[in-house]
Structure 1
Amino acid sequence: MDDRETDTALLRRLFDRAVEVADPMRSLAAHLPPKPGGRVVVIGAGKASARMAEAVEAAWGPCEGLVITRYGHARPCQGIEVVEAAHPVPDAAGVAATRRMLALVAGLGADDFVLALISGGGSALLCAPAKGLTLSDKQAVARDLLASGAPISEINGVRKQLSAVKGGRLAAAAYPARMLALMVSDVPGDDPAHIASGPTVGDAGDVVRAAEVLADWGVTPPPAVAAHLAKGGAPVRPDDPRLSRVENVVYAAPSQSLEAAAVLARSEGIEVMLLGADIEGEARDVADQHATLALGLQRSRGGGTAPPLLILSGGELTVTRRGDGSGGPNAEYCLALALALAGAPGIHALACDTDGVDGIAEVAGATITPDTVARARAMKLDPDSALARNDAHGFFGALGDQVVTGPTLTNVNDFRAILIR
């Protein structure tokens, strides 16, 4: 195995470790209370929700309930029903399942208990258009915002104002039942209000800000959405009495996965620089910044006398859609990084989404090596053109450097690693 293959394999092991520690089957049970007496209803939404439900039943036995996950992410459960729906743009299956979930918690009493399992992806999967809006209205706004390059916090702020289930409305519907919401964070900062657009967390935003976000990012909403935002809504505020019996717990977060990868790297004699788990920004811009950092560190370390150095970071990058290619933020980051590094020897990198889905492609991300650009050009691939067209997945697919995991059944956001020798 040559150095390129050895370092790529090392980066993949670090990524796998980051995913492993966030697997609900390994991590959720420690945060469950003893199963309450009386009626217990389990609900949830997100890419990890089916795996979370599976973990709950492994601890508690068969339960009544319903969770909504992405197509292909279902798990076998004993009593909890698992429904698959579309992500990142909602579909009719998600709307129908959300209506059923709201009906399931309606009419619960003060002696009943609701366990809510919330993870990234729930913003699309848990879909109930606000009064006067349709699914097509929500789909149009989602598509345009996702292509605009807007950060996820801004996108989710808009989603809340167009929803009958987000921004605390799911928890309010279950009142006066007691609720524990266990969350897997996929958002920078791990704010429960932003995870899956906060269906169990009160909303501090407003329709004015939502309209401003659409304008800021060049999104023209459908007429019904514009009218809805103009007339205002009835938000569930954080101090709403209907949220008084809700406890929100973020039990798995990107920082934990990055630290697990760092521990593994240090055990193999590698120095680690953690840049943080909350990095946001345009994928190609962040790649340029990280390339400058990596090259500077390589120069300052004096060649082959220093131990290898690993730069780790997480967060959620964005892509402003400019072309007609196939690519997500992690693959686009890798492509821009390879171009910025310009074949610098001794630097390898990996960037992947921990849920196994980068953008809308069934690809986690990609790896790069010092000869990525040279190999591409020898194959008549144009990396600059691929970046201009947002075609990073096509580029790395042709090179054979995609990372394909299938559904990982968890979601703690982006994982980026740069190894410097």
Structure 2
Amino acid sequence: MTAPRHVLREMFDAAVAAALPARTLAAHLPVKPAGRVVVVGAGKASAAMGAALEAAWGPCEGLIVTRYDHAVPCAGIEIVEAAHPVPDQAGADAAARILGLAQGLGEGDLMIALISGGGSSLLSLGAPGVSLTDKQTLNRVLLASGASIDEMNCVRKHVSAIKGGRLAAAAYPARVLTLVISDVPGDDPSHIASGPTVPDATTLQQAREIVARYRMVLPDSVNVALNDAANETPKELSRAELRMIATPMTSLRAGQAVCPLPCLILGDAIEGEAREVGRAMAGIALSVRQHGVPIAPPCVLLSGGETTVTLPADATGRGGRNVEFLMGLMDGLDGAPGIHAIACDTDGVDGAAEVAGALIGPDSDRTRLQAAMQAYDGHGFFASIDAQVITGPTLTNVNDFRAILIE
């Protein structure tokens, strides 16, 4: 068999390739209408989605906001870059312009919304009274709180002028077609980029409960917005359609298809504290190696989803969900022979660093592991043992890809 780490990297590359807009988007387009079409979008993959749309339909009118260094040239669609995960003025300005485009449409027009992960931070336009600075503070608090992505998005939607279905509501009576690349557990479109074009079932009351549960200290304007009934999100939308063009499970199956060993997909929606999920996966891998249950070695255990990292006040390192997972996995395996793993974010960015994740094996140097875990310094640790996976922006985003190979 090819070297284990080579097999794992090939699986990850196949998973990313299966979710590229150039491969997936055109099949989900309708016949191009004769009337006015306006294309808007937000997310790490949105510019690539716009290029794929124009490859099928020719130049289009519109505006897309994507993460810095994720722009793809389009013939007609304007591409704006902005900050992620903490929003900046460029994103706020782009969001206001996108909302303005939607508000200018009529009954015979079509708005196509290209939405992918990361869009929540990029499409940042506060509810009345909520400034960009307050939104930035909110995002930092959410990211460090330990709240799940669903909980974070619930709060975000209720202090936004554009999320939680408000963009589609602004476009009415025009038709709205949303094309989505899913990066959330369960593929619920209302959670992807905080669902700007789909109805929202969550409520202001739930948002307030989440803030209380995690003891979030938020700007006064955010608290005021969360207590203002005018900021409740739309529960129904007319003339809005959605099509999912890539999902985490599609990519897990693509990784499975190129693997020379039997693969067991444990799930595409695994959540929890990243390092604890890693320790749990170590226990499963050790059981497989010893007992051959639920699959016999040699084999690969595959999983996806979106774990969380709760940062203590004294955390000094740089990290992300995938490197946290791998440190927990290494800690649980304790150098057990014959077990290798990869964990990477399919967008090429784990946390806020331009590092997708890392590769480990039984020979990985664990000398600094405990110190790195104490400091939450996953990126520093894996850089020090030359184990990082660096892809650059992949221009797609179907969440995390994790594979454990057991010889």
Q: What range describes the TM-score normalised by the shorter chain of this pair? A: over 0.9
Measure how far apart 1:209 and its partner are: 1.2
Within 5 Å, give how 1:99-114 maps onto structure 2: 99-114=96-111
2:292 equivalent among 301, 305, 312: 301
Aligned to 1:367: 359
* C-alpha separation in 2, matches of 1:360 and 1:320: 15
Q: Secondary structure at the match of 1:334?
A: helix
- Residue 168 of structure 2 is matched in structure 1 by 171
Tell whether 2:400 aligns with 1:410: no
The answer as to 2:268 corresponding to 1:277 is yes
Q: Which amino acid aligns with 2:269?
A: D
What is the root-mean-square deviation of aligned Cα atoms in Å?
A: 1.4
| Residue 116 (structure 1) aligns with | 113
Letter in 2 for 1:245: R
The alignment status of 1:37 with 2:34, answered yes or no, reads yes
Which residue identity lines up with residue 339 of structure 2 in the other structure?
Answer: I
Deviation string 1:233-292 (CA, Å, 9 cap, x unpaired) is 3434232xxx21000111210000001111211xx2x11111110000000110111000
Residues 204-237 of structure 1: CA distance to partner in whole angstroms, max 9, x if unpaired? 2222211111121121111111122123334342
d(CA) in 2 for partners of 1:376 and 1:290? 18
Task: Establish whether residue 314 from structure 1 lines up as the match of residue 304 from structure 2.
Answer: yes
Match of 2:249 among 255, 260, 273: 255
Query: 8 Å contact 1:203–1:235 — kept in the other structure?
Result: no
Residues 167, 235 of structure 1: 8 Å contact kept? no
The reply on whether 1:141 has 2:133 as its aligned counterpart is: no
What is the DSSP-based 3-state SS (H/G/I as helix, E as strand, rest coil) of the residue aligned with 1:275?
strand
For residues 228 and 28 of structure 2, what CA distance do their matches in structure 1 show? 42
SS in 2 for 1:67: strand
- Structure 1 counterpart of 2:385, one-letter code: L
Report how far residue 417 of structure 1 moved.
Answer: 0.2
Q: TM-score, normalised by structure 1?
A: 0.94
How many aligned positions are there?
A: 404
**CA deviation after TM superposition for structure 1 residue 16, in Å:** 0.2
Q: Does 1:289 align with 2:274?
A: no
Residue 192 in structure 1 maps to residue 184 in structure 2: no
Q: Is 2:341 the counterpart of 1:349?
A: yes
Q: How does 1:159-238 map to 2 (within 5 A)?
A: 159-238=156-235
The 3-state SS of whatever aligns with 1:19 is: helix
Equivalent position SS for 1:276: strand
**What is the identity, as a one-letter code, of the residue corresponding to 1:280?**
E
Partner of 1:25, secondary structure, is helix
Report the alpha carbon displacement of residue 335 of structure 1 after superposing the two structures with TM. Answer: 1.2
Q: Which amino acid aligns with 1:408?
A: T
Contact persistence 2:115–2:179 (CA under 8 A): yes
- What percentage of aligned pairs have identical amino acids? 57
Aligned equivalents of 1:127, 1:307: Cα separation in 2: 47
Cα deviation 1:352-374 (Å, max 9, x = unaligned): 000000000100001111021xx
Query: Structure 2 CA distance, aligned partners of 1:190 and 1:173?
Result: 24
Which contiguous aligned blocks of 4+ residues in structure 1 show a shift greater than 4 angstroms?
none
For 1:320 and 1:393, locate their aligned partners in 2 and report how far apart those are by CA, in whole Å: 16
- Structure 2 unaligned residues grouped into runs of 5+: none
How big is the shift at 1:140? 0.7
Of the structure 1 ranges 35-44 and 224-233, higher mean CA displacement relative to structure 2 is found in 224-233
TM-score by length of 2: 0.97
Residue identity in the other structure for 1:251: I
Long gaps (5+) in structure 1: none
Aligned residue for 1:251, secondary structure, equals: strand
Please tell me whether the aligned partners of residues 158 and 233 of structure 2 are also in contact (alpha carbons under 8 angstroms).
Answer: no
Counterpart CA distance in 2 for 1:236 and 1:136 is 22
Letter in 1 for 2:356: A
Distance 1:72 1:321 in 2: 27
Of the three residues 55, 58, 79, the one matched with 1:58 is: 55
1:376 deviates by 4.2
Per-residue CA deviation, residues 138-158 of structure 1 (Å, 9 max, x unaligned), is: 111110110111110000000
For residue 353 of structure 1, what is the amino acid of its counterpart?
D
The amino acid of 1:9's aligned partner reads H
Q: Which residue of 1 aligns with 2:379?
A: 393
SS at match of 2:393: coil
> Is 1:154 paired with 2:151?
yes
Residues 94-127 of structure 1: per-residue CA shift (max 9 Å, x gap)? 0001111111122211111111100000000001
The answer to whether 1:337 aligns with 2:329 is yes
CA deviations on 1:310-338 (whole Å, 9 max, x unpaired) are 00000001111121100001011111111
The letter for the 2-side match of 1:409 is L
State how far apart, in whole Å, the 2-side matches of 1:123 and 1:170 are: 12
What secondary structure is seen at the aligned counterpart in 2 of 1:189?
A: helix
Secondary structure at 2:168's aligned position in 1?
Answer: helix
1:20 aligns with 2:12: no
User: Contact (CA 8 Å) 1:123, 1:197: kept in 2 or not?
Assistant: yes
Q: Could you tell me which of 76, 80, 84 is aligned with 1:79?
A: 76
